[in-house]
Amino acid sequence: MLRVDTEERAGEVVTPRVAEPLARPGRSGTLSLFWSELGLTFRRWRTLALFAILAVIPVVVGIAVKIETRDGGVAGGGDGEGPAFLSQVTNNSLFLVFTSLAVTLPFFLPMAIGVIAGDAVAGEAGVGTLRYLLVAPAGRSRLLLAKANATAVFCAAAVLVVSVSALLTGMALFPVGDVTLLSGSTISFGDGLLRVLAVAGVVAASLLGLAAIGLFISTLTNSGIAAMATTVGVMITVQILDAIPQLDMIHPYLFPHYWLGFVDLVRDPVIWDQVQDNLVLQAVYVAIFGSAAWARFTTRDISA
C-alpha cells in the first residue's frame, strides 16, 4: 500500500548514483518511512497518555456498574437509561466491551483521533522537521500516505485499548460464559468474542472519516495545536448538528450519524444495514478529505 511513487518520478530517467554503486534497496527501504511514522506515533508520551485515558474508562464504568448493582439492583435503572448495553453488563462480561465502546465513541475516541491526525503534518511543520523529511526526500505523497496509514493504525490501536481493557475488567467483575444477545438468542463465549472483534473493527473503521478530516486540517496550518483543536471542534460541531431533529435531511451525510449502529452486530441475525451505510459513509469521507489533503500538501509552500 506504500508503493505509490511520487508524481515527480513520472518521465524521469533514474540516473545511477556516483556515491552508491550498490543495488538500490527494495521494499524494506520503501516501508521504512511507514515504520518510522508508526514508531514516532506510538513512542510519544502523549500517545501513551491517550491510551491510558482510554484504558481507564472501561475500568471506571465496570466498577460503577458493580457498585450500583451490588444489592441486586439493575444498572441504568432497567428502563433503558444510560449508555447502550449497560443493563446487560451484569449478565455477561462481554457486554462491558460494547458498553465501553458506546461510552467512548462519542467523545474520547474521536478526541484521541483528532489529536493524532491533527498533529500529523502540522506538528512537524511547526517544529520544522517537515522540511528535513521532504529534502531527505520523503516525497510528499509518500509522506502523506505513511502518515495516513499510521493514523489508521492508531484508530485501530485506540479501539483495541478500550476493548482489551473492557474485556479484562469485565472478566474480573462479571460472569464469563454463554452470551445472551439483544435479540434473546444465546451464543457461546467464543462466538461472543468474535462479535467483540467484529464490533471493534467496525468502530475503528467508524473513526476513519474523522481521521481523514483531521489529516486534511493538518495540512492547512503550521500549528499542531490549532489543527488538533480545529479537528476536535469539527467533531463536536458535527455531533451537535447530528442531534438537531430539524436538520434530519443532512443527518445521513454526517460522519458520526451511524457510529452507534454497531449495536446491530450484537443481534441474531445480524442487521447489516446501518453498519454498511456507516462503512460507505466513512469511505466517502476518506476519499474526499484524503484527496483534499493530498491536493493541498503536494502543492503548498513549506515555509516553516
* Contact residues: other proteins, CB under 8 A: 5-6, 8-9, 12-20, 22, 24-25, 28-30, 32-33, 35-36, 40, 43-45, 127-129, 131-139, 142-143, 299, 301-303
Output the smallest distance, CB 51 to other proteins, in A.
16
Residue closer to other proteins by CB (options 18, 240) is 18
Taking the alpha carbons at both ends of the chain, their separation in whole angstroms is 29
Output the smallest distance, CB 32 to other proteins, in A.
4
Residue closer to other proteins by CB (options 9, 237) is 9
Output the smallest distance, CB 176 to other proteins, in A.
40
Residue closer to other proteins by CB (options 143, 166) is 143
Output the smallest distance, CB 147 to other proteins, in A.
12
What's the length of the chain?
304
Q: How many CB atoms lie within 10 A of CB 121?
A: 28
Element (H, E) at 60: helix 45-68
Residue closer to other proteins by CB (options 10, 240) is 10
Beta strands in the chain (DSSP E): 179-180, 186-187
Output the smallest distance, CB 125 to other proteins, in A.
10
Residue closer to other proteins by CB (options 24, 70) is 24
Output the smallest distance, CB 145 to other proteins, in A.
12
Residue closer to other proteins by CB (options 143, 167) is 143
**Would you say 41 and 123 are in contact if contact means Cβ atoms under 8 Å apart?**
no
The DSSP bridge partners found for residue 180 are 186
Under DSSP, is residue 99 helix (H, G, I), strand (E, B) or coil? Answer: helix
Rounded Cα distance, 192 and 198, in Å: 10
Residue closer to other proteins by CB (options 246, 303) is 303
10 Å CB burial of residue 240 (0-12, 13-18, 19+) is exposed
Output the smallest distance, CB 295 to other proteins, in A.
14
Output the smallest distance, CB 225 to other proteins, in A.
15
Rounded Cα distance, 65 and 173, in Å: 10
**Would you say 102 and 83 are in contact if contact means Cβ atoms under 8 Å apart?**
yes
Residue closer to other proteins by CB (options 48, 243) is 48
Cα angle value 257/281/164 (rounded, 5°) = 70
Q: How many CB atoms lie within 10 A of CB 95?
A: 28
Rounded Cα distance, 120 and 114, in Å: 10
Contacts of 106 (CB under 8 A, 6+ apart): 239, 256, 259
